[in-house]
Structure 1
């Protein structure tokens, strides 16, 4: 029988999520350990007329895990992971680190993001950019199957249209209580850590774009504008090489040509150690605000706008993080999953730390004229209506039809969905 709590230590733990800016207060938390518990919790919410939300890893920036005045389905005790024949079976509350650690013990790797405390299934359902995306695709591309409890309380094995929707359409179709995730033979990666003076930022970005234009699948990189411990801005590049290590050293040595390196280090790590690189860097309870854009490349206009945006920051911990999308991720046919952008691009994260959110919104607005339509669904908030309308590209109408069929009353609102689209975006072709 599901455990319902309205106060006390268990309630406090369940409503304490990553972003301290979130003040939503649910009236009850359903602590679930089985699929039957989840089904019961949905019935309780329906019978009492309570809005419903789902807490997985709790690394939530927008407060979607906590519906104000609602019932929270807490999956944090459903963190089991087992691996057999190249497939990880993962509980709904498992974090990226939980799964990566299980894979690491077998010399395997899983497509994750860049922070281990993120719930792996939440990341996966919305897309999942990460250091292995070029080689193995998005986290969503590695989703092989799932058990889902739908809004009517029925438990189903996702296949066909539901599985298609889960691969990038977000947690909008039910509660994923477990999933089957592909894991890959990969015991070591070569990780680069490069830093350049902020005065050389324009040159670094332009050369960086040129360098990655010819990069193979084994190379996936992140570049950021950040402050050093003394508060001085710099440009940081963090490439990951997932192929032959000797070949990777030759490729990653090329990053020293971007500018005058303040730091240039190459380290062989396990994929798990790579995931743990930033442990503690983004502590729970701090105030965060995030906005996102996608750009096709680093044109002079894009670079100028990025530098102007960063210069206007209002808190010292604020930074711009930029993810590389190419290779296996971009070769996935656009109609094969709900994820709405398969062209090579760079995903921008404007991460305001300790501020009121105005800088993040202003930075997003500044980059808008140079950006592709839409944005990364996992980072789109309720205010990002125009971006959300375009986020799923030609898949939007199909996604909305599946939503209306499986959840006509809109019980699940985990990830932003467009209110409605029309025209040739309604094509049903999966090719």
Structure 2
């Protein structure tokens, strides 16, 4: 179906407490935008839901008419999964409430919340859970695919802290999902993405973190990246869980904390978060901070909430983005050489090459406990291509990403689902690996018609396919 009658739209609008936006609405073009300006899709309807009843009404409406559904939280997916062509968008941006239970150390988070909402509310109580490193990232998309962030080595991935969820499924029912009510569905939500419905409330386990951590950046010129990465590799070999680090090779962005003279210069930057005793952190990091002559060293005590907003301006909405990623083991000499070589060919001041240090609590979770893969990986690298709207050389930036990805393929031990882009069904299946059959069986149970398919889709497939 690619059209609706006026009566259909009016019927749905009357049933909602929130807003319904059609193509005739002057707000339509703005409402269909997502973070990645490279995405240009035209849904039939955009429902800005105000409550759970709105979500169930929209799901039922779409199901009865065979319309695909895209669920938008923060709209931060590079693949543009928060908007669809010829279907219905469930926009959760009006559902951002966060309630903290400090006694039970739980955060109850509505499905449209951003990570800044969770961080602010939880840090009032000196609590936190692993969230995205960009504060404007939506909770839902990041949490359902895995959730890597500054605290993951100490607290686990976001999915490891997901203990319950309220889920509106394809039949229009709202289910409370936890380890008692439906442990298999909870397993699927922990890494299986938005395949199983619309989560209208998350329940996350919280940890004692902050409100002050040891954080900041150490920046060196790119021409010493090989030596710096070697020193870094040796340091993190024995790193305690309290240390979270993200390397980034790029043209230095115009951050407020960075002197203007460095803006645009090729650099290797290390972003640090030490969530334990500050003096112990300073002592552990000393060998790395004493390497060479850094262009900038801002490491020091910092509010955790501030750390979570540090890089917000480096990936602004509306720019055009394309990326790939690879999970790999060690920062071997060969990997370092490959990374430095391709980072040196970076095509845009907006592009970046973040490398996330995994391990710690991430690697101690048994592989069968969640739908998330690559528990044994040591690192994830994200080849992050980006360019300004209106540029006519898209292919140059895309090709840099693809060439980089191809060069890293020999070292790959997996892929992070949330960092997939346009790899298609084969890429999704490969990312889930041995979990695929179990996920297909679960998808077939809760969404056999694949109503929720604007995601890294687990197609219920033909009878017999995917059965254990």
Q: Please state which band the TM-score falls in when normalised by the shorter chain.
A: over 0.9
Mean Cα deviation higher: 158-167 or 409-418: 409-418
Identify the match of residue 305 of structure 1 among 326, 338, 352: 338
Equivalent residue, structure 1, for 2:434: 394
Match of 1:219 in 2: 243
Indicate conservation of the 8 Å contact 2:441/2:460, yes or no.
no
Q: Residue in 1 aligned with 2:419?
A: 379
CA contact (8 A) 2:355 2:380 kept: yes
In 2: Cα distance, 1:90 partner to 1:212 partner: 33
What is the aligned residue count? 423
Q: What pairs with 1:226-265 in structure 2 (closer than 5 Å)?
A: 226-228=250-252, 229-265=262-298
2:22 is aligned with 1:6: yes
Map 1:158-307 onto structure 2 (within 5 A).
158-159=177-178, 160-186=183-209, 187-228=211-252, 229-307=262-340
Do 2:444 and 2:460's aligned partners in 1 also have CA atoms closer than 8 Å? no
Which residue of 2 is the match for residue 334 of structure 1?
367
- What secondary structure is seen at the aligned counterpart in 1 of 2:384? strand
Tell me how far 1:58 sits from its aligned partner. 1.6
41 and 419 in structure 1: CA distance in 2 versus 1, 3 angstrom threshold: closer
What is the CA distance between 1:39 and its match in structure 2?
A: 0.9
Paired with 1:345 and 1:209, the residues of 2 have a C-alpha distance of 11
Q: SS where residue 239 of structure 1 aligns? A: strand
Change over 3 Å in CA distance of 1:332–1:143 after alignment to 2: same
Judging changes above 3 Å, is the alpha-carbon distance between structure 1 residues 174 and 121 closer, same or farther for their aligned structure 2 residues? same
Q: After superposition, give the CA deviation of every residue in 1:343-402 in whole Å (9 maximum; x if it has no partner).
A: 141111111110442221221112111211x31101112325554323223322211211
Which residue in 2 is equivalent to 1:99? 118
Say which SS state the counterpart of residue 77 (structure 2) adopts.
coil
Whole-Å separation in 2 of the counterparts to 1:106 and 1:349 = 33
Measure, in 2, the Cα distance between the counterparts of 1:266 and 1:231: 21
Instruction: Look up the match of 1:415.
Output: 455
Match of 1:46 in 2: 63
Distance change in 2, residues 1:305/1:418 (3 Å)? farther
Cα distance in 1 for residues equivalent to 2:291 and 2:409: 26
Distance 1:263 1:161, change over 3 A: same
Distance in 2 separating the partners of 1:378 and 1:254: 33
- What SS does the corresponding residue of 2:217 show, helix, strand or coil? strand
1:68 matched to 2:94: no
CA distance in 2, matches of 1:29, 1:108: 35
Deviations 1:136-168 (A, max 9, x none): 000111111000011111111113111111111
Question: Partner of 2:5 in structure 1?
Answer: none
In our comparison, the structure showing a higher alpha carbon Rg is: 2
TM-score w.r.t. the length of structure 1 is 0.93
Shift of residue 70 of structure 1? 1.1
Q: Is the 1:137–1:329 Cα contact (8 Å) retained in structure 2?
A: yes
Match of 2:99, SS?
strand
The change in CA–CA distance for 1:270 and 1:427 in structure 2 (over 3 A counts) is: farther
Distance 1:259 1:172, change over 3 A: farther
- Aligned equivalent of 2:170: 151
Deviates more, 1:314-323 or 1:131-140: 314-323
**Structure 1 vs Structure 2 CA RMSD:** 1.9
How far did 1:54 drift? 0.4
Tell me: CA distance 1:294–1:259, structure 2 relative to 1, closer, same or farther (3 Å).
farther
CA distance 1:211–1:415, shift in 2 (3 Å):
farther
1:351 maps to which of 384, 401, 406: 384
User: What residue in structure 1 maps to residue 141 of structure 2?
Assistant: 122
1:49–1:427 Cα change, 3 Å: closer
Q: Is the Cα–Cα contact under 8 Å of residues 301 and 370 in structure 1 kept in the other structure? A: no
Mapped contact 2:163–2:204 kept (Cα < 8 A): yes
Corresponding residue SS for 1:124: helix
Equivalent residues in 2 for 1:131-150 (5 A)?
131-150=150-169
SS of 2:79's partner is coil
2:446 paired with 1:406: yes
Aligned-partner Cα distance in 2 for 1:92–1:385:
26
Counterpart-to-counterpart distance in 2, 1:215 and 1:417? 36
5+ unaligned residues in a row in structure 1: which ranges? none
Return 55-64 or 223-232, whichever deviates more. 223-232
Report how far residue 4 of structure 1 moved: 2.1
Q: Deviation of residue 403 (structure 1)?
A: 1.0
SS in 2 for 1:312: coil
Higher deviation after alignment, 375-384 or 147-156: 375-384
Structure 2: runs of 5 or more not aligned? 1-14, 253-261, 388-393
CA contact (8 A) 2:439 2:458 kept: no
